[in-house]
Chains A and B, each alone.
Chain A
Amino acid sequence: MSSNLDQLYRQVIMDHYKNPRNKGVIEDNALTINMNNPTCGDRIQLTLKVEDGKIESAKFDGEGCSISLASASMMTQAVKGLPVEDAVKLAKIFYDMMLGNDYDDESYDLGDIEALSGVSKFPARIKCATLAWKAMEQGVGKPEEEED
């Protein structure tokens, strides 16, 4: 088994896959975003509660591979309590990480998210990891960008 594969499927990722955090739906007054990855069939339903420009809570539901579900779980954890603009900045940092670029690991506590850095070695899987983040961006009203 290659070490790249071990970097991809780190223990903490498997833990989020097996025990997803914030799985479910926020029922009352939540922003609901449905997004799918048309090339593979992964889908996510993200519900966000945003108050006074701050993400009070985030939950996700959906189907997908270990990487997409673990990433969704980590994303909901990371953005909870963040002002919307910081959540969007964090998404940008995450995309840099996915592309294998240098990324800002000082402005925010990246926590578990850093475990996903191995995904950058697997170009076919980057879209799995970014799905939940794209959904979050759409939810908080960031206009859609061209693919980086």
Chain B
Amino acid sequence: MSANEWRKLFPILDQEVNGKPLVYLDSAATSQKPIQVIEALDKYYKEYNSNVHRGVHTLGTRATDGYEGAREKVRRFIGAKSTQEIIFTRGTTTAINTVARSYGMANLSEGDEIVITPMEHHSNIIPWQQVAKTTGATLKYIPLQPDGTIDLVDVENTVTEHTKIVSVMQVSNVLGTINPIKEIAAIAHKNGAVMVVDGAQSAPHMKVDVQDLDCDFFAFSAHKMCGPTGIGVLYGKKALLNKMDPVEFGGEMIDFVGLQESTWKELPWKFEGGTPIIAGAIGLGAAIDFLEDIGLDNVLKHEHVLANYAMERLSELDGVTIFGPKERAGLVTFNLDDVHPHDVATVLDSEGIAVRAGHHCAQPLMKWLDVTATARASFYLYNTEDDIDAFLKGLTTAKEYFGHVF
């Protein structure tokens, strides 16, 4: 199948926006959903909605099978050893916060270091700021190369024997940089630190193997990979998760409850307090089936072609600044001279083209780039070269529209 056939599986894409065919170039913010995922959610609610792990009745068993079946799909999808290592969360943000609150707060103290990079999304910065504030640990940053990549020499120089946590995104949501996680994890481990990976922008687009990366924690969200909003995954190595305390307490996560003391269920359920995100997990499972059916290698290859084509077409326009390295994931962040990114996005929207404008939840990176905002076009399996042609035509319109101003 080609992208033209893939896109037919996404009902939302078949519509007009402001009188023009929709061109959706904001998948790094959230992806669209294929009919298979929409139908899986529909079927769950129509046929077997029920609470999990407790009903003796038939629907309860079906719902539990669906929920736990999705966990097994996730395990296979990221190459984890055991489903005990797969914790369902609300998304990447909650997953990273869980590591910060449970592992970070318990294991760090004054004199310890947490190492991240300036390209991180706010969700991989602020949880660590909070851990540093509470524990007295220091938050350090690996400097970036001028093209927005990480040099391993800088990692070696930043990570020390005092470093307890290294947390880095696998793919940048702004620069498109693909970071050498496996190598960074090796440096972290050599220094006795654990490696946390923000996989929000990688898991949807490339084959991830957590055992090959040898990361200790890996976080990602379903909604960026054809799945529903409101569910994500925290992978953690079993030996670490076993030693960690839950961060949410209540139903579902307990073993025995006394008047003064309680004990927890085993992994992974001790981290899943409350009625879990049952429909979400089932939808995520359907999204994984969908992506594996297409093949993540094919997705990656397709996005690589699109990114190169977009870069090539953008270079035809005068007065365009492109941020990030030449070798990149499927997105292009840019600015037009004399046209603010909001104005670019509004003009494109009037042509039916959806792009993101703003700081992309990466204010420290915007500061590093010395801009207040940028525009971003991000691609997924359902985008085509025609979309990029429409995007370029829209940019030309924006330039002309604002051209008379300056």
Contact = CB atoms under 8 A, between A and B. Distances in A.
Interface of A: 1-2, 4-5, 8-9, 14, 17-18, 39-43, 63-68, 122, 124-125, 128
Given A2-B18, A42-B372, A65 B406 contact: no
Given A1-B397, A9-B401, A40 B18 contact: no
A66 B373 CA distance: 13
Instruction: Pick from A5, A8, A68, A128 the residue with the most CB of B within 10 Å.
Output: A5
A41 B340 contact: no
A104 B347 CA distance: 30
Interface string B107-138: 00000000000000000000000000000000
A125 B349 CA distance: 12
Contacts of A39: 358
B360 to A, nearest CB: 9
Most buried by A among B18, B19, B341, B350: B350
A44 to B, nearest CB: 11
B346 A41 contact: no
Interface string B333-345: 0000000111100
Nearest to B360: A41
A101 B280 CA distance: 39
Contacts, number: 56
B346 A125 contact: yes
A4 B363 CA distance: 32
A40 B405 contact: no
A125 B350 contact: no
Given A8-B346, A65-B341, A18 B363 contact: no
Contact of B350 (A4, A18, A43, A64): A4
A129 to B, nearest CB: 11
28 contacts: A1-B350, A1-B397, A1-B401, A2-B19, A4-B350, A5-B350, A9-B401, A14-B404, A18-B405, A18-B406, A40-B358, A40-B359, A41-B359, A41-B366, A41-B372, A41-B373, A42-B373, A63-B372, A64-B340, A64-B342, A65-B342, A66-B342, A66-B343, A67-B342, A67-B343, A122-B346, A124-B346, A125-B346
Interface of B: 18-19, 340-343, 346-347, 350, 357-359, 363, 366, 372-373, 397, 401-402, 404-406
Contacts of B372: 41-43, 63-64
Contacts of A42: 342, 372-373
A68 B340 CA distance: 10
Contacts of B397: 1
Contacts of B406: 18
A124 B405 CA distance: 22
A5 B346 contact: yes
A116 B136 CA distance: 49
Contacts of A68: 342
A59 to B, nearest CB: 20
A20 B343 CA distance: 17
Contacts of B350: 1-2, 4-5
Contact of A65 (B19, B340, B359): B340
